[in-house]
A and B are shown apart, each in its own frame.
Chain A
Amino acid sequence: MNTDTVAGTGQKQREVSAVQAQAVTVTGRERIRPESADVTGGPDRPAAEAVPLAPRARLLPALATVYRAQLSRARVARIPLLFVATFQSVGIMVLMRGVVDGGDEARAVVAGSSVLVVAFVALNLLAQYFGQLRAGRGLDYYATLPVPPAAVVLGAAGAYASFTAPGTVVTAVAGSVLFQLPLAHLWILAAVIPLAGAALAGFGAALGLLAPRQELATLLGQLGMSAALLLGVLPAGHLPAPLAWCRDLLPSTYGVEALAHTFRPHTDWGLVTADLAVCAVVAVVSLAIATRAYRRAAVR
């Protein structure tokens, strides 16, 4: 490897060369700072004797750590946006109150506006965040730590999804009061928020990580949210066929439907469960895609 010291008559000779090939065989072990000598400890180790690797971070602790860090970021930086999301939803309900009078339409408006808060944060803001992180080389931070990719994606998605909870609850309660819907089954939000949240956050993370440019990630996130707004809040019966198909493709729709069912006088729990199951499947698939996208984006 290194050629040895050429120690002549007390004065060490050193070869320096502007030639690339020789630049690596610099001689001389003299150090500027004497204290460095005691750690050098003789010649370099042979390559065969590999130094043991530090342990990996395990999935669950790493996930919890990312979750905690992301939630704290969201609290520092995103609280005003949560207010915006909630006001937007409450505003939509107030507007629709003049147009809609009770029945299925009212249920759809309240359920759609509530899930819209989830879409705003989990889909739109998370797509934006991952797009920005990727463009600003922020992914390097995670990529140079021994963290499972799933922990990064799930931790961030979970934090954004749970960050939406207060806004969603406020919107659902306000809407129920406004349209005189029963409050009894609102506990279903405890299932709707995590499942729709996971599905939309997975969708948002995948968009943010797959979009070739940051602006595109932001744009896609916002388009997704607009779609959730239009297709979720407008009563399904009035939509032309192509839009109705789009509505069926949008993951937020199933969260909206599940919540809307519980506002009926006689809730069909089978339908609620089926809708939530769709959310869960979409969540698993979209989070898996986002994890793959992260892996690809982190190492180029």
Chain B
Amino acid sequence: MCTVRDLVKTYPATRARRGAPAAPAVRANDGISLDIRHGEIFGLLGPNGAGKSTLVRQLTGLMRPDAGAIDLLGHDLVRHPGRAARLIGYLGQESTALDELTVSLAAETTGRLRGLDARTARAERDGVLDELGLADIAGRPLKKLSGGQRRLACFAAALVGPRPVLVLDEPTTGMDPVARRAVWAAVDRRRKRDGTTVVLVTHNVIEAETVLDRVAVLERGRVIACDTPAGLKKLVAHEVRLELLWREGPPLHVPEVAALSESAQCSGRRWVLRLDPDLARSAVAALTGGPAFEALDDFTLTTPSLEDVYLALGGRTQGLVKA
């Protein structure tokens, strides 16, 4: 359906100017290969700067790769980047072009520019705005909306005009749970009804685990793993994750705490431990039963998340969000 082979993209170095220091060249995509299947929700997960947007900007024809091949639905997008606009509905990370339009006009304009005639564009606009619960604010300019509402309005615009593939770059940034659910319901409806394939960029592991069929984990321009979220989590299935939040400092005079401190990842008052399940159970028992409990503000014991997978695979930053 969509195959990407050995994609390389380097942003050239820039010379120092007044007010702007020199920047070295950045190899934002360093040999990326992917197979995206028909009708799946495929995720690109990675911290800031991993190269996710760079990858989707090449998929959508916005940038030419330095090397590599992209085939989408039988079309060679490296040779014909202009075809991407006729196959893909794209939601970019920024909304500058639509900011001063009303929600309704933004959606209708997008439909018209996707080649719909006036009546169809208006009908699709009304359908999408109703579907996403935007009808009440349809007459307001995007600029005057809250961040989450604006994002939802841009998402609505991206849905007007049928496309076999949707490419969404962090669609739910700034949205509350209600808006997020509306987004996922709309995506799922299109997949069921039209067999739409979705490529989704995120750095939110919870989102990745709940909505994605398969996910490619990106780190510094490379794919470090690619599988279903459940499949990836089996990599770290032998561990559980224990998080401790201390009121002030950790009570290191308590022997159990001192023992745990050696394997803990500390960031301020927060400790994260990855432990064998039995060990974790006994640690929790010791902490909650003994004198350390007084110093403990909060603790959680969870099965591992994709964040743990990312770290286990050699991810170097703490850039993924759990929310």
Q: Which of B74, B164, B192 has the most CB atoms of chain A within a 10 A radius of its CB?
A: B74
Q: What residue of chain B has the Cβ atom nearest to residue A33's Cβ? A: B213
Contact of B112 among A24, A28, A62 (CB under 8 A): A62
- The complex places the Cα of A1 from the Cα of B34 at a distance, in Å, of 10
A31 contacts which chain B residues (CB < 8 A)? 40, 213, 228
Judging by beta carbons under 8 Å apart, are A26 and B226 in contact?
Answer: yes
> What does the 1/0 interface line of B40-51 toward A look like (CB < 8 Å)?
110000000000
Judging by beta carbons under 8 Å apart, are B31 and A20 in contact?
Answer: yes
Number of interface residues of B (CB under 8 A): 78
| B63 CB within 8 Å of chain A | yes
Q: What residue of chain A has the Cβ atom nearest to residue B157's Cβ? A: A141
> What does the 1/0 interface line of B122-156 toward A look like (CB < 8 Å)?
00000000000000000001010000000000000
Q: Of A10-18, A100-108, A163-171, A179-187, which binds chain B? A: A10-18
B292 contacts which chain A residues (CB < 8 A)? none
B229 contacts which chain A residues (CB < 8 A)? 32
Given A55-B115, A65-B113, A144-B60 contact (CB < 8 Å)? yes
Contact of A39 among B85, B162, B192 (CB under 8 A): B192
How far, in Å, is B88 (CB) from chain A's closest CB?
7
Contact of A140 among B92, B188, B216, B230 (CB under 8 A): B92
Q: Is the interface of B mostly helix, strand, loop or mixed?
A: mixed
Contact of A20 among B82, B86, B222 (CB under 8 A): B222
| A53 CB within 8 Å of chain B | yes
| B290 CB within 8 Å of chain A | no
> What does the 1/0 interface line of B90-123 toward A look like (CB < 8 Å)?
1011111110111001000110111101100000
Number of interface residues of A (CB under 8 A): 64
Contact of A28 among B73, B96, B223, B228 (CB under 8 A): B228
| A92 CB within 8 Å of chain B | no
Contact of A36 among B83, B84, B94, B191 (CB under 8 A): B191
Q: Of A68-76, A226-234, A263-271, which binds chain B? A: A68-76
Judging by beta carbons under 8 Å apart, are B86 and A56 in contact?
Answer: yes
| A143 CB within 8 Å of chain B | yes
Judging by beta carbons under 8 Å apart, are B85 and A73 in contact?
Answer: no
Judging by beta carbons under 8 Å apart, are A146 and B85 in contact?
Answer: yes
- The complex places the Cα of A44 from the Cα of B141 at a distance, in Å, of 42
Q: What residue of chain B has the Cβ atom nearest to residue A49's Cβ? A: B74
Interface CB pairs A-B, < 8 A, 6: A17-B225, A18-B225, A53-B75, A76-B141, A299-B63, A299-B64
Q: CB within 8 Å of A: which residues of B? A: 1, 3, 31, 33-35, 37-41, 57, 60-64, 71, 73-75, 81-88, 90, 92-98, 100-102, 105, 109-110, 112-115, 117-118, 141, 143, 161-164, 188, 191-192, 195, 212-214, 216, 222-232, 234-235, 313-314
Q: A23-B226, A69-B109 are in contact. List 9 more A-B contacts (CB 8 A).
A: A16-B234, A17-B225, A20-B224, A39-B195, A44-B35, A51-B74, A65-B109, A77-B100, A144-B60
